Amino acid sequence: MRATMEYQILKPSTCLLVLLFFIPTVLGICPSSCTCSGNDRNVDCSGRNLTILPHGLQDNITYLNLSFNQFLDLDHQLTRFTNLRTLDISNNWLKNVPAHLPKSLWELYAINNNIKVLQKLDTAYQWNLRVLDVSRNMVERAVLINNTLSSLKFLNLSSNKLWTVPTNMPYNIETVDLSNNFLSQILPGTLLRLHHLSSLYLHNNKFTSIPDKAFDQLLQLQVVTLNNNPWACSDQQNILYLLRWVQETAAHVVGAPCADTAPTPGTGSSLLIKGRKAADKAAFPVATEPSKMTKMHKQLRAKEVPSLATFSQSLLFTSTERPLLPHPEELSTGQGGSQPGSQEAAATHTFYIKDPAELYSSLTPSAGSSTTPMTLSITSGMPTNYSKMPQSTTATLRKEESTTNVLNTHVPSKARISEMSLVCVVMLNAVALFIG
């Protein structure tokens, strides 16, 4: 009887000991070497000089920070964390990305390790991975599989030892940082299908040129950095594509190549970004000038010219669409050279209108008055001599019109004189008959 009672007492005690042994795993008690939050599902074990995973990590953790430790190898040790979203293994001594990482990962940070190669199996089954940061390592070759990284948006491979831009980057990627490498070439088709790429960082590399059409399919690109590369500005055949692309793209280009390089013989100023931009800006107003002059010319002819055309059918307009030399009268008086650079500051378009008074010069000599051809000057741009701005063309035309009216009033025609003589003869004959 007593033995039976002792057995019944010891049996619950054994069960209690078993429960106490598994309590840390069942209840998810935070490991002593880490700090936890969010029902112990966010675990921070950074900066603890760890070489192995701490005991007591529950399987359903979603965040794990193992940075600033002394891990040499984490292969096959993280597979059981099937709910893990963010893994930070930066600043350790890892030689490769841990094998068999959980497929649930969204973010993987492996910054500042000793990783030399990014193998295709390292990311082969990471369909949910959105951020991959393997910067500040020793990566010489990165092999990616674009079909498996369908969710990847951010790829950081900066500060490594890459010589070629990685191929097979995921089609949906938006940001790629390849700065501070030894990149010197982009293989054909590398960037062909990256239609969602918005930020591309290529500064601090060894590029001398970019292959033709390499950037043509980057339709969503907003920022690209090209500074601190040894661009071959004197190699017109290879650098010309990049210079034209920089001019035509809507993206913000940081460090435009050859912008501060002086032109070398045989290459022409068209290879320089700064020169091309200045030429384009300078040429734009000139290209629109003839249309403005034509419009003004038509308005003047519609409003002012008909009043002069009533006096004479001989109306002559001569014009030019390029800057003219000083007027001959100014050359004779020395005024043409008094304002150096005035022809450069404004282009003057001159119209000569044949004065109607010249039609009567052959009939009756003018008495002490000289007839001067009317000159209509239209100035485009802003002349440097503000004190001698051209007068209003309307006022000039009206002044010439009044002069023409005066000439037309005081200069009789031969037909009028003959008619008056005939009338006088008839009247004299009539008077003589009346008297007789």
Burial of 134 (C-beta count, 10 Å sphere; 0-12/13-18/19+): buried
Which amino acid is present at 55? H
Q: Summarize the confidence of residues 321-325 as an average pLDDT.
A: 41
CB of 108 within 8 A of CB of 101? Answer: yes
CB of 130 within 8 A of CB of 105? Answer: no
Confidence of residue 409 (pLDDT cuts 50, 70, 90): very low
Q: What local confidence, expressed as pLDDT, does residue 125 receive?
A: 87
pLDDT tens digits, one per residue of 292-313: 444 444 444 444 434 433 333 4
Whether 306 maps to a domain, the answer reads: yes
Whether 236 maps to a domain, the answer reads: no
Q: What are phi and psi of 277, to 5 degrees?
A: -65, -45
pLDDT tens digits, one per residue of 115-160: 999 998 898 889 999 999 999 999 999 998 878 899 999 999 999 9
Whether 218 maps to a domain, the answer reads: no
Q: What local confidence, expressed as pLDDT, does residue 309 receive?
A: 39
Q: CA 113 to CA 357: how far, in whole Å?
A: 96
pTM of the model: 0.58
Q: What local confidence, expressed as pLDDT, does residue 20 receive?
A: 45
Decide if pLDDT at 23 tops 80: no
Confidence of residue 261 (pLDDT cuts 50, 70, 90): low
Q: How many domains does the chain have?
A: 1
Q: CA 429 to CA 426: how far, in whole Å?
A: 5
Q: Which residue has the higher pLDDT, 414 or 351?
A: 414
DSSP, res 30? P
Domain housing 378 = 292-332+343-414
pLDDT tens digits, one per residue of 416-435: 677 777 777 778 877 777 77
Quick count: other Cβ atoms within 10 Å of Cβ 359?
Answer: 16
Looking at every residue in the chain, the average pLDDT score rounds to 73
Whether 434 maps to a domain, the answer reads: no
Q: Summarize the confidence of residues 345-354 as an average pLDDT.
A: 43
Percentage, residues of the chain above pLDDT 90: 48
Q: Summarize the confidence of residues 312-339 as an average pLDDT.
A: 41
DSSP 108-131: EE--SS---EE-GGGSTT-TT--E
Confidence of residue 325 (pLDDT cuts 50, 70, 90): very low
Q: CA 218 to CA 173: how far, in whole Å?
A: 11
Percentage, residues of the chain above pLDDT 70: 58
Please choose, from the candidates 239, 271, 231, 237, the residue with its C-alpha nearest in 3D space to the C-alpha of residue 255.
Answer: 231
pLDDT tens digits, one per residue of 357-389: 444 444 444 444 444 444 444 444 444 443 444
Whether 15 maps to a domain, the answer reads: no
Side-chain half-sphere exposure of 72, counting CA atoms within 13 A: 1
Q: CA 227 to CA 258: how far, in whole Å?
A: 10
Q: What local confidence, expressed as pLDDT, does residue 13 receive?
A: 55
Whether 374 maps to a domain, the answer reads: yes
Q: Summarize the confidence of residues 330-337 as an average pLDDT.
A: 44
CB of 137 within 8 A of CB of 162? Answer: no
Q: Summarize the confidence of residues 67-81 as an average pLDDT.
A: 96
